[in-house]
Structure 1
Amino acid sequence: MAWAAASLASDKSRFICIYPAYINNKKTIAEGRRIPIDKAVENPTSTEIQDVCAAAGLNVLLEKSKMYPREWNRDAQYRGRVRIQLKQDDGNPCLPQFPSRLFTKHLSRLFLKTRGPQTGWCGMEGYCERWKFVKAT
């Protein structure tokens, strides 16, 4: 009986996939959002995700022809997915600040640095531009 050879972490098929719907605050959980709505980003594109991840120093691969299966809208702005390498061949993280597959939670913080404050959540504790709420310290 032949066993499949173990693939390396640097193999492109082993990179994690991030679709824009995972971090889109306009989507519901049923539509594919994977992070809390208060930490999600307004209408991200796959190109923006690629730029943000590349700026953070991650090895990134953009696949523009791919589409999230739950996405009903077939417009070009909703197309694409990003593959990101989080682990090296020896199993250690590529970057120590992103040690696990829970990368989508870190991605919204990276968007804050590039896009700046947004309507709704802006990343600063207790501050929300939409409601002008400032937490008392």
Structure 2
Amino acid sequence: MVRAAARWILALALGAIGVVHFVSTRGFRVVVPDWATRITRLDKDAIVIASGAAEVALAAGLLALPRERRRIGIATAAFFVAVLPGNVHQWRTHRSTPGLDTEARRFGRLFLQPVLVLWALWCTAEPAHRGPLRRRLRRRSR
């Protein structure tokens, strides 16, 4: 029950921030490092839109695809790792975005990233009593 609540909170937060990426593209452009545009061959607006779309898709998957929950949790954790360079860039360049308008907040955001990775993995893990091995053993005993 706690994992389910944590998963819902994570999904709602991801979905909300993903939608904000569509509405306020300009506000998130400062987070995108210049090297990301060279590597992806996309402009900063496209990268912001793509990351917002990824967040919305991950949020939807967390809620709508219970059989794929573990995979989506891993994908969500990977997404949080992938956006870390943008957070570092924002901190190093002293650029503000909504809610991250001070040095302390930008620096603190860097430490939130590992927490988000662990949260995504934890809230999508199967409890030990319902793991795949346990299910196979229950099926055989029937």
Hey, which of these two has a bigger chunk of strand by percent? 1
TM bucket (normalised to shorter chain) is: under 0.3
Rg larger in structure: 2
**TM-score normalised by the chain length of structure 1:** 0.26
Structure showing greater relative contact order (alpha-carbon pairs closer than 8 Å, 6 or more residues apart): 2
Normalising by structure 2, we get a TM-score of 0.25
